[in-house]
Amino acid sequence: MSNSFLIILGIITPLFAALFSYICRYNNNLRDSFGIIGGLVTFLISLKIFHGIQNNEIFQITFFTLFDGVDFTFKVSPLGSIFSLVASSLWILASIYTIGYMRGAGEKNQTRFVIFYSIAIHAALAIAWSGNLLVLFIFYEILTFSTFPLVGHKQNAESQSAGRLYLSILVGTSLIFFLPAIFWIWLETGTLDFQDGGILINQFPAEYLSLLIAMLVFGIGKAAIMPIHRWLPAAMVAPTPVSALLHAVAVVKAGVFSFLVVIVYIVGPEFLLQTKSSDWLVWLACFTIMASSIIAITKDDLKTRLAYSTISQLSYIILGAALASSLALKGASFHIITHALAKITLFFCAGAIYVTAHIKKVSELKGMGFKLPLIFFAYTLGALSIIGVPPFIGSWSKFYLIMGSIEREFIIVAIILGISSLLNIYYLLQPVVIGFTKNSIREVKLTKAPLTVWPPVITGLSCLIFFFYANYFLNNVSGVIVS
Amino acid sequence: MVGGLFIIITSQNYLKKVVGLAIFQTAVFVFFVSLAKVLDGTAPILTKMENAYSNPLPHVLILTAIVVGVATSALGLALVLQIYRNYETIEEKEIQSLELKSDKLNV
Amino acid sequence: MFNIFLDDAAALVVVLPLLISAIIAFMPSKIWPWIISLVTLVLHLVLSLHLLKEISISGLIIYEFGNWEPPWGISFKIDGVNIGLQLLFSIFVLVSTFYSRKIFLSEIDSRDSGKAYSLWLLAIGSLNGIILTNDIFNLFVFLEISALASISLIALGAGQNRKALLAAFNYLIIGAIGATFYVIGVGFAYAMTGTLNMNDLVIQLAQYSDGQLAIFAGMSFMLIGLMVKAAIFPVHIWLPPAYSYAPSAVSTLLAALATKTILYFFVRLLYEVFIIYPSYLSLFLDFVLYPLSLLAIFIGTLIAIYQDDIKKLLAFSSIAQIGYITLAFSLKDHSGITSGFIHIFNHALIKGGLFMAVGYFAILYKDRVTLNSLRGFGYKYPITSFALLICGLSLIGLPLTNGFISKLYLFQALYTNQMYFSIALVAVSSALAVAYFWKIVEQMWFSEIKFKSEKEDAYIYLPIWIITVSIIFFGIYSSPIIEFSNLSADYLISGYQN
């Protein structure tokens, strides 16, 4: 199979999954199986591309020219290959989980849900493999629009207003900041292609670079840096599979991935290091990390707490991008994988607890640990990985980020990262502690939903296992960035 | 000219507005025709004598404009008639209050 | 024999619809007026294509009526500036006429069909005249014919809602004032120069190089008159009620083409004639048109957000979009004029498509289309709804639609002129456009009410989809529109630089 065909196949597979789900909408089992099949196919393709990239193969396909210097083109970068691998592999698990959750929770409109879920994955893959900034932008918007029906899925007043907030922040920021920034780059350089080392150096007025970086970081609202983070907690009204795959992996990672790509392939780390235009962003990211950690402590709703934790973790990646040193970028890219694995575990667990025990609040978890041991086991694994305890995969990325900040002589940043880990311990492990406290106040009727239990266990264990195989990914990451 | 414009703006009666419009337009026509006047000019009829004659073009233009003006007035009057049939009044204030009432009924 | 027609193609594109209009006025039949109109407009398209061919050979056609030479006789001029617009016009009127039949059938008394199509062709012919004419007084005549025809068409909406009469009456009064202002301006210009032909006017005006008060007064009167007609903020007040209470087919025609043709003439007057007084021109552009455009964009968008009635919402969005066009034209350089023309093309398609889709909903719903009435329509009428969605996304200006191309070039033009404030404003207002458009989408697809899909009328959704496909087509393959606009800008700007 030729390389360009692989890209097309990978991108349209989720669309076919959506189409077949629609065709088979009257047969629930058949309909839901297409998510898993689609996940498997895209996973295999992503894996092949991932290995191809490691062997310096080129994956590129151009369709047509949009306007001067900008084609509708896909080109897989090493960063993109990682992101697609993460998204597609977790899609398999999330599909299995979705079946258990949606049926267990008795949600309506499951067909629509499955369809838009697949379309969202399609957009995420296209973002990962996009060949220039405009193509990335197109699929960024498609991702926003396709996740809107998922956020507003319950169609009650709360979810509708949440959906509106979600859409208005994401689309609004992208149209006000991101698109003009893209135009600006195009007007200055005449191209939007991703190139190693960036395209802005010697082309873009250095004194305005800070402004451009600001437009980008605020325009890519999916990266959820403060003060445009409000949409993420709001989106938690969605069913948990959405929160798990989309708002811990696909959507938010698409955001930070976009920002990382812009830093690495458009602005160029070297240019950034010369001008120091992103140093202010380091502090904003630090502020977001600390502030959202503190907010997370005060939240009693488990999913909201996890959402704020996500905001804080996303800022790790932005922090890494803003530092722009090779170690920090390595850490930031690697954090996409590590955080995805760990956070999806946590969300899976939160959803599983909701489906089986109908509990949403941390304070009501007393004694649940004894009744749902597997779920709490998986949860603990995920939490430890996010905290960054060896031997969990999360410790690698944190290590590189701290090294990166020391490399740039931001000692305070390293300290902040440390404090943030302490806060993580508190708010992520508190549910576990409560869960294993005796004296359950009330009897809870449990519903069985085995399909929601195993996916988190698998992802949780992989957090542990991949600690030892981190080099497998790290090679790919460092290959790109150091060049 | 200004008088006509004044009527259009101030009057509450649609019929009066149409009349105001007609006055306004006629004033402009007269202005046009006055442009054509050449001192001591006569009507521009081809004769053997070489007389100074008024410029005929503005007259021709105004002839067209008059037709347009008549059509405008006619359409305006037709509309006023239709408005009267539908609302049984052609006073702006009364129609507005009628509309407000019907809006309230619909809500 | 056909060649005889082709020789007079320039005149026939205007005269043919006017003639046929008189013929079909009193036809009692329900369907023949439509068929005859359709045939006429197919011929119209053929003639336009012929003109395009001629233009690509010679670059300029001046058609003199009755062989009277220009300063005296009336002449039409076809050149690079208006040929693109002529083609768009021709294609769009054909599509919208095709669309109009079922709409007219359900919205007006079918016995009036002949009269309605008579007025319809009258409006088309006279609007076409505005595109082609090279004579400032002749323009006034066409302006008034088109205005009277459209007012009558708007008043036909009275069968649905009697407010249409008030809307038509207001349009009549305000439009007539605007036209009369324009005539006063023409009078001043004629008094000073003794000519009405645009080319000759330039030559004659050149002798008053220092400028005279009478000329400036005349120019101002003409511009104000045209601004009223083109619904440039703040003299746009006639437009929203007129568009929203007119029969749906009429709204489509007016929204897509009526203001566009007048805007075209407005620009032509600015850059072809008034250009010889650069100081006056830049005064007008910088201190009148530019701020007014910004206000139009901002206020139009804001009002649109709070509209409940969909047709009114679209009408206010038109005000904002006209603001984009005039903003582009106020930039005084090649990129600005190009982007203005690009947006004239694209917006005609987008608004036409939107009004068509909403018009169809109006006859399906048998009442005014408000936000609430659209509930669940996405499921009930999926084909039309999906077209509406695409047109709306294009209105917002997302990539892969032609609205994006407009926005791209507008940004480029503003950027080269270093108008960063305007860039910010345009960006914000396009984000606000999401707000009003998304309200519609939310009602259509994400409300509680569900319907089984119903059969849709192919006669109606076919033209809607023709427009929708062209929106996507020109979003991906944008070079035809860009080339035509570039050509227009080349012609106009060459006058500016000389």
Instruction: Give A347-371 pLDDT, tens digit per residue.
Output: 888 888 888 877 788 877 777 777 7
Residues of B with CB under 8 A from a CB of C: 5, 8, 14, 17-18, 21, 24-25, 28, 31-32, 35, 55, 57-58, 61, 64-65, 68, 71-72, 75-76, 79-80, 82-83, 86-87, 95, 99
Q: What is the pLDDT of residue A482?
A: 46
Q: Does C164 reside within a domain?
A: no
**Contact in structure between C431 and C320 (CB atoms under 8 Å):** no
**Residue C444: domain span:** 293-498
Q: What's the pLDDT band for A476 if we cut at 50, 70, 90? A: low
Per-residue pLDDT at C58 exceeds 90:
no
Q: What is the pLDDT of residue C233?
A: 81
Q: What is the pLDDT of residue A439?
A: 63
Q: What is the pLDDT of residue C498?
A: 45
Total domain count, chain A:
2
B5 vs A232, which has greater pLDDT?
A232
Residues A235 and A282 in one domain: no
Q: What is the pLDDT of residue C1?
A: 55
Per-residue pLDDT at C159 exceeds 80:
no
Q: What is the pLDDT of residue A435?
A: 80
* Chain B residue closest in CA terms to C145: B68
User: What is the C-alpha to C-alpha distance for residues C250 and C157, in angstroms, rounded to an integer?
Assistant: 9
**Residue A408: domain span:** 278-483
Q: What's the pLDDT band for C94 if we cut at 50, 70, 90? A: very high
Instruction: Give C63-82 pLDDT, tens digit per residue.
Output: 888 777 766 778 888 887 88
User: What is the C-alpha to C-alpha distance for residues A142 and A122, in angstroms, rounded to an integer?
Assistant: 9
In three-state form (DSSP H/G/I as H, E/B as E, the rest C), the secondary structure along chain A is CCHHHHHHHHHHHHHHHHHHHHHCCCCHHHHHHHHHHHHHHHHHHHHHHHHHHHCCCCCEEEEEEEECCEEEEEECCHHHHHHHHHHHHHHHHHHHHHHHHHHHHCCCCHHHHHHHHHHHHHHHHHHHHECEHHHHHHHHHHHHHHHHHHHCCCCCHHHHHHHHHHHHHHHHHHHHHHHHHHHHHHHHHCCCECCCCCCCCCCCCHHHHHHHHHHHHHHCHHHCCCCCCCHHHHHHHCCHHHHHHHHHHHHHHHHHHHHHHHHHHHHCHHHHHHHCCCHHHHHHHHHHHHHHHHHHHHCCEHHHHHHHHHHHHHHHHHHHHHHCCHHHHHHHHHHHHHHHHHHHHHHHHHHHHHHHHCCCEHHHCCCHHHHCHHHHHHHHHHHHHHHCCCCCCHHHHHHHHHHHHHHCCCHHHHHHHHHHHHHHHHHHHHHHHHHCCCCCCCCCCCCCCHHHCHHHHHHHHHHHHCCCCHHHHHHHHHHHHHC
A partners (3+ CB pairs within 8 A) are C
For the purposes of burial, counting CB atoms within 10 Å of the CB of A441, is it exposed (0-12), middle (13-18) or buried (19 or more)? exposed
User: What is the C-alpha to C-alpha distance for residues A209 and A262, in angstroms, rounded to an integer?
Assistant: 13
Q: Does C204 reside within a domain?
A: no
Nearest Cα residue to A442 out of A376, A363, A355, A372: A363
pLDDT above 70: percentage of residues in chain C? 97
Q: Does A271 reside within a domain?
A: no
Q: What's the pLDDT band for C388 if we cut at 50, 70, 90? A: very high
Per-residue pLDDT at C165 exceeds 70:
yes
Residues A128 and A39 in one domain: yes
Per-residue pLDDT at A187 exceeds 90:
no
Continuous H helices in C112-156: 113-132, 136-155
Q: What is the pLDDT of residue C146?
A: 92
Those residues with Cβ within 8 angstroms of residue A435's Cβ, 6 or more apart along the chain or in another chain:
A365, A366, A367, A368, A369, A372, A376
CATH number at B62 reads 1.10.287
Instruction: Give C327-370 pLDDT, tens digit per residue.
Output: 999 988 888 999 999 999 999 999 999 999 998 888 888 777 78
Residues of B in contact with C194 (CB under 8 A): 55
Residues A127 and A79 in one domain: yes
Q: How far is C144 from chain B (nearest CA, A)?
A: 7
* Chain A residue closest in CA terms to C437: A168
- Select the highest-mean-pLDDT range: A16-30, C153-167, C314-328, C366-380: C314-328
* Structure tokens given for C38: 């359709």
Q: Does C398 reside within a domain?
A: yes
Q: What's the pLDDT band for A483 if we cut at 50, 70, 90? A: very low
Residues A110 and A224 in one domain: yes
Among A1-5, A248-252, C422-426, which stretch is predicted with the lowest mean pLDDT?
Answer: A1-5
Residues of A in contact with C446 (CB under 8 A): 149, 152, 155, 160, 163
Total domain count, chain C:
1
CB of C177 within 8 Å of a chain B CB? The answer is yes
The average pLDDT across A211-216 equals 89
Q: What is the pLDDT of residue B1?
A: 65
Residues of B in contact with C184 (CB under 8 A): 28, 31
CB contact under 8 A, C137 and B61: yes
**Residue B50: domain span:** 2-106
Total domain count, chain B:
1
Instruction: Give B50-92 pLDDT, tens digit per residue.
Output: 666 667 777 788 888 888 889 999 999 999 998 888 888 888 8
Q: What is the pLDDT of residue C465?
A: 93
Q: What is the pLDDT of residue C121?
A: 92
Nearest to C423 among A67, A134, A180 (CB): A180
Which 3 state secondary structure label does DSSP give C486? Answer: helix
CB of A183 within 8 Å of a chain C CB? The answer is yes
Residues A333 and A214 in one domain: no
User: What is the C-alpha to C-alpha distance for residues A477 and C50, in angstroms, rounded to an integer?
Assistant: 60
Dihedrals phi, psi of A301, to nearest 5 degrees: -70, 125
Among A310-319, B2-11, B56-65, C79-88, which stretch is predicted with the lowest mean pLDDT?
Answer: B2-11
- Cα torsion for A319, A324, A329, A332, to the nearest 10°? 10
CB contact under 8 A, C148 and B75: yes
Q: What's the pLDDT band for C394 if we cut at 50, 70, 90? A: very high
Mutation for testing the B interface, residue in C139, C140, C170, C172 having most B CBs under 10 Å: C172
The average pLDDT across C450-479 equals 85
Residues A182 and A321 in one domain: no
Residues A246 and A373 in one domain: no
Return the bridge partners of C78, or none: C61
Q: Does A20 reside within a domain?
A: yes
Among A1-5, A323-327, C187-191, which stretch is predicted with the lowest mean pLDDT?
Answer: A1-5
- Mean pLDDT over the full length of chain A: 83
Instruction: Give A12-63 pLDDT, tens digit per residue.
Output: 888 888 888 888 878 777 887 888 888 889 899 988 888 888 877 888 888 8
